[in-house]
Structure 1
């Protein structure tokens, strides 16, 4: 009983840290975009976490953990169970690491993250209503079905060499990243982003807020990865937190160095995204790596950010916050790295990691395309040119985030 209490308290602390990450995402996103769209972005982020929790309660949790199922789709019923004993006490036999309620809340915090990734990629030009509809479908159905394939005991878990994704480089970050790519392709670039085929900088309005957002995310990742141990077991928990921090630090430093050599300036936004790239990359294998492996994985993730951002610009995919580079490309790298480094390294594991990456790519691209394309052809997904130039705050919400402070913007 005492051990359960200790484990459960740790899991609830991690749940709070993952919840705190949503503030980090919001601050990062508003910091890297323009003042006139601040309220719109904050509205989306608040909507994602509120509707995400409700949907995960009503359908998502039992889609993701359906019990015995065919490995691809299962559903254990609507709503949460009431795990009580005959005398009305809480049934503590659910799990030695945490209670049923803690399990739901911890996993529910993860669920909303996938849509938050998409929010950053489509910032400053997507209508609020279609984004909300997309969030409901993607968080309520697509994410938990995808999650069941591994964490719910589905076909990826039952491969001869099971696919490994400790805390969600693919299950969370790439699931959001693939949808972000599809959404950006169907939306098109912001007005003024490309001139004569060349990308133009559209500076964010508050880099201090973006910096605060990244540091909050780094802190929250202690819950994201640390809680994925699913207990307070001291050895594994400590190793996971060390690996998480080392990968983040290596990602930031290497991204800063590579971007400085390439662009001849010390770009703070690259530095920040390098930290996030390292965090995303280590998330799949934080439980399997020695600290040196974590540094290498994070460092490669940081270097990837520089070249991924450049590639995305050349492809004319307008991603205001670098979400695709950070969450999708570094998510893929981190997932494949499990087969190259650490305790699971080997050809069979690498093949399983490839199967997992490919399975999620196919499912997420097809499902997100169907949802967003349908919305585009029915209610439309992009605001008008006038609305985009004036800012989404005024047109979508009828108010401003900073009513007493105006900035000349184009």
Structure 2
């Protein structure tokens, strides 16, 4: 074999190895971010849910997802497949990385709240059926330009996370009953978590052509998103709370990397900066909107991955950077969002009917909130007595 081919395969194998390692760190980042940003949920329970999510996704991908995405040969279903060449191993590594990253987004929206059965079933369905279907659609021309998985990984995982969040409903917490250890927030852990998530999102671009350009553009997009988030916080919203502002800026960096991901290997550096700034602004504003309507999104599954992932799929044709025509790209994005949200919605609705959707604590809090408390029968006013802080930095009157 020519030396040039050996060097190329060695480089691709190194890229696949780095992708797997960084995606594993991305999973750890989601767990750290969730545990640090949601003090009402025990950190050990959130970590257990993330581990079950990853395990179920890996099993489903190996047993059915890989074969469904690359071949319909029934002999390869059930894990009975073995890559024969280095390129096939690299494709297998990339497929598992995409499944692990997308199900991490799904798990981040429900960790600590959804029953273990729900986590396992939703992750298995997403990795074993939904993602392979999206991979085949991409090969047929829908949303063809998706180098870093902006649509097929981030937006798809975010759509599934949205379905889970809507079926779970608002998280109900009685702040005075929280254990002291749950009240303590860990800003360093949350910052490290967001950084690891951003690195893992950028790593999904490594197998794409022009991986060096994708890595550079991902870094530039993150910086552009940080600048946009800071300007929005200081100049537009006139807010400067060190803890929340820093976390918002770090979450915006993730949003920037996700927004540039679909075209990370074809954008110029200047365009990548602008795309990152747009993604950072979109993620920050979506996060504020979700907070105001009381939708919990501690790890940015909805603001950074769903909203910015869908935007990412539309930008390459809009900016004239290639990737096919806008109607086909938009159709692919819409189809991915529809399938990714409908499949888990049906599954989780069945689990809710059977009583296996929420954790025991979640069910207890919902039953308790449904009981009238004196004359004040408004749903959330029964949960939070007047004068009590319902979230750090938010007063009762502002919240309602």
Corresponding residue of 1:398: none
Q: CA 1:38 to 1:28, structure 2 compared with 1: closer, same or farther past 3 Å?
A: same
Corresponding residue of 1:144: 132
Equivalence map 1:305-316=2 (5 Å): 305-316=283-294
Query: Where in structure 1 are there 5+ consecutive unaligned residues?
Result: 69-73, 84-90, 93-97, 157-161, 195-201, 230-235, 390-408
What per-residue deviation string (whole Å, max 9, x for no partner) do you get for residues 349-401 of structure 1? 22122111111122122212101111110133123457777xxxxxxxxxxxx
Q: CA 1:294 to 1:193, structure 2 compared with 1: closer, same or farther past 3 Å?
A: farther
- Residue 227 of structure 1 aligns to a residue in which SS? coil
Corresponding residue of 2:215: 241
* Mapped pair 1:52 → 2:57: yes
- Residue 264 of structure 2 aligns to a residue in which SS? coil
Q: CA 1:255 to 1:122, structure 2 compared with 1: closer, same or farther past 3 Å?
A: same
8 Å CA contact retained: 2:222, 2:254: yes
The alpha carbon displacement at 1:342 in A equals: 5.1
Q: CA 1:140 to 1:75, structure 2 compared with 1: closer, same or farther past 3 Å?
A: farther
Corresponding residue of 2:380: none
Larger CA deviation: 355-364 vs 216-225:
216-225
Q: CA 1:203 to 1:108, structure 2 compared with 1: closer, same or farther past 3 Å?
A: same
1:332 to 291, 306, 310: 310
Equivalence map 1:30-179=2 (5 Å): 30-34=35-39, 36-66=41-71, 77-83=77-83, 91-92=84-85, 98-150=86-138, 153-154=139-140, 156=142, 163-179=144-160
What is the CA–CA distance in structure 2 between the aligned matches of 1:316 and 1:111, rounded to whole Å? 29
What is the CA–CA distance in structure 2 between the aligned matches of 1:130 and 1:16, rounded to whole Å? 27
Equivalence map 1:281-320=2 (5 Å): 281-320=259-298
Corresponding residue of 2:189: 209
What is the CA–CA distance in structure 1 between the aligned matches of 2:250 and 2:109, rounded to whole Å? 16
8 Å CA contact retained: 2:150, 2:313: yes
- Residue 78 of structure 2 aligns to a residue in which SS? coil
8 Å CA contact retained: 2:23, 2:100: no
What per-residue deviation string (whole Å, max 9, x for no partner) do you get for residues 66-117 of structure 1? 269xxxxx9963324335xxxxxxx54xxxxx43223212210210222211
Corresponding residue of 1:392: none
Q: CA 1:225 to 1:27, structure 2 compared with 1: closer, same or farther past 3 Å?
A: same
What per-residue deviation string (whole Å, max 9, x for no partner) do you get for residues 317-369 of structure 1? 33233310110001111111111225317xx6221221111111221222121
2:169 to 158, 178, 188: 188
What is the CA–CA distance in structure 2 between the aligned matches of 1:368 and 1:165, rounded to whole Å? 23
What is the CA–CA distance in structure 1 between the aligned matches of 2:338 and 2:32, rounded to whole Å? 31
What is the CA–CA distance in structure 2 between the aligned matches of 1:204 and 1:132, rounded to whole Å? 29
Q: CA 1:237 to 1:137, structure 2 compared with 1: closer, same or farther past 3 Å?
A: closer
8 Å CA contact retained: 1:66, 1:75: no
8 Å CA contact retained: 1:256, 1:274: no
Q: Taking CA–CA contacts closer than 8 Å with sequence separation of 6 or more, which of the two structures ends up with the larger relative contact order?
A: 1
What per-residue deviation string (whole Å, max 9, x for no partner) do you get for residues 206-240 of structure 1? 121011112223333442212333xxxxxx22211
What is the CA–CA distance in structure 1 between the aligned matches of 2:16 and 2:112, rounded to whole Å? 36
Q: What is the TM-score normalised by the length of structure 1?
A: 0.78
What is the CA–CA distance in structure 1 between the aligned matches of 2:362 and 2:317, rounded to whole Å? 49
What is the CA–CA distance in structure 1 between the aligned matches of 2:163 and 2:322, rounded to whole Å? 32
Q: CA 1:388 to 1:334, structure 2 compared with 1: closer, same or farther past 3 Å?
A: farther
The alpha carbon displacement at 1:52 in A equals: 2.1
8 Å CA contact retained: 1:37, 1:124: yes
* Mapped pair 1:5 → 2:10: yes
8 Å CA contact retained: 1:15, 1:227: no
Task: Please report the RMSD computed on the Cα atoms of aligned residues, expressed in angstroms.
Answer: 2.8
Larger CA deviation: 326-335 vs 101-110:
101-110
Equivalence map 1:367-378=2 (5 Å): 367-378=343-354
8 Å CA contact retained: 2:206, 2:214: yes
What is the CA–CA distance in structure 1 between the aligned matches of 2:114 and 2:122, rounded to whole Å? 11
Q: What is the TM-score normalised by the length of structure 2?
A: 0.80
1:264 to 233, 236, 239: 239
What is the CA–CA distance in structure 2 between the aligned matches of 1:155 and 1:344, rounded to whole Å? 13
Query: Where in structure 2 are there 5+ consecutive unaligned residues?
Result: 176-181, 366-389, 392-400
Q: CA 1:269 to 1:203, structure 2 compared with 1: closer, same or farther past 3 Å?
A: farther
